[in-house]
Homo-oligomer: A and B are copies of this chain.
Amino acid sequence: MRRMTARPENVHQARILRLLRTDGPRSRAELGDVVALSRSKIALELDRLAALGLVRSDGFAASRGGRRSEIVRLAANLRFLGVDIGATSVDVAVTNGELEVLGHLSRPADVRDGPTAVLDQVLEMVAKLRADGVVTEVHGAGIGVPGPVSLRDGTPIAPPIMPGWDRYPVREAMSQELGCPVLVNNDVNMMALGELHAGLARSAEDFLLVKIGTGIGCGIIVRGEIYSGVSGSAGDIGHIRVDDHGPVCACGNSGCLEAYFGGAALARDALAAARSGRSPFLAERLAEKSALTAEDVGAAAAAGDAHAVGMVREGGRKVGTVLAGLVNFFNPGLVVISGGVAGLGHALLAEIRSVVYQRSLPLATGNLPIVLSDLGGTAGVIGAARLVSDHVFSA
């Protein structure tokens, strides 16, 4: 039999927990002010939360002219798992209650190996983190997968790049294995949630996270929550048409954004540029490695290779074109660019900005920051942990 970890008993406890998670340790008095409850009530609920093992005392603050206030914080042994299953890699992180990353493992992995193989890999990584001692009492795990997900069931639904995963009961299986609540969602949505929690989007209500990696996707946050659409496929912008007469895409149509500027497209164009000699840098790389990836294009552009810079520019223009339309439609308060290709850096960003600011309506762009993510590879795992902690910290 599986011992369930404690959860809040009412909405007040849930509010207190979320507050301690997001804003860090607080005194009882401050909590009363923020939660708008009487001190006696706060004290009562804190006692109960302490009895549940969810919060603890953390010493006393310096006096402000009177009795020192007792600082309350989330229990020390509270742990969440954040799992980010990408197309070509798996990340697993352990966080404390405040969602600070205590341990993080990243391994290359091919999602096409199917759910059992990949999820076994995940469990192995969790076991390794457990051996390191950072995993204590796991209160929940969030799992991001590179495809649409049925939120009701926690299963991938007809994911294009995940053969064998269709309707595989990820939530069910992992909840069984890990012995804790598990939530599954799209990886890009998770990254957006990560940006909302710990990244540049902390004060944003409505924003977009554009991830440019193997594929191109978009996480959508509406009123501070993930928006997934009715089938869980919202944000799938990789197959928006950029041009009628573009390259043929894996989806069957032609001129898709992804066919211009996804990881595969970039590798393809890099190869062509190397072979034709238009890019000496890439040609040299090809000679060394016998294959080229998007990273090589980034390196070439960083090294000043004119053709590679042109490729990045051109890609930025395509992304910007699509994004300009989405900005008109969605009117976000912020756009965060993320993903492997985001490493291409400011040449890419500059081009995207230029197109969006020119092509979108002034009112929508008037106060619209377009920025590169500063979370590195941790946005996904933090977002996954955040999602499940939202769930666990709810009445």
Contact = CB atoms under 8 A, between A and B. Distances in A.
A330 B241 contact: no
A236 B361 CA distance: 8
A363 B148 contact: yes
A206 B205 CA distance: 18
Given A158-B362, A231-B367, A362-B158, A329 B329 contact: yes
A326 B237 CA distance: 9
A230 interface: yes
B228 A331 contact: yes
Interface residues of A, number: 45
A230 B251 contact: no
B361 A229 contact: no
Interface string A269-300: 00000000000000000000000000000000
> Which residue, A206, A240, A321, A358, has most C-beta atoms of chain B within 10 A?
A240
A234 interface: yes
Contact of A218 (B223, B251, B329): B329
A142 interface: no
A346 to B, nearest CB: 24
Interface in A344-395: 358-364, 366-367
Contacts of A231: 331, 363-364, 366-367
Interface in A238-286: 239-241, 251, 253
Contacts of A59: none
A168 interface: no
A321 B241 contact: yes
A329 B235 CA distance: 4
B222 A329 contact: no
A212 to B, nearest CB: 15
Contacts of A223: 222
A66 B240 CA distance: 61
Given A329-B236, A331-B229, A253 B359 contact: yes
A332 interface: yes
B325 A232 contact: no
Contacts of A361: 233, 236, 239, 251
Contacts of A229: 206, 330-332, 364
A122 interface: no
A205 B227 contact: no
A16 interface: no
A90 interface: no
Contacts of A367: 230-231
Interface in A326-343: 326, 328-333
27 contacts: A148-B363, A158-B362, A205-B230, A206-B227, A206-B229, A229-B331, A230-B332, A231-B331, A231-B363, A231-B366, A231-B367, A232-B363, A233-B328, A233-B331, A233-B361, A234-B329, A234-B330, A236-B328, A237-B325, A237-B328, A239-B361, A240-B328, A240-B329, A241-B321, A241-B324, A253-B358, A329-B329
Interface of A: 148, 157-158, 205-206, 218, 220, 222-223, 227-237, 239-241, 251, 253, 321-322, 324-326, 328-333, 358-364, 366-367
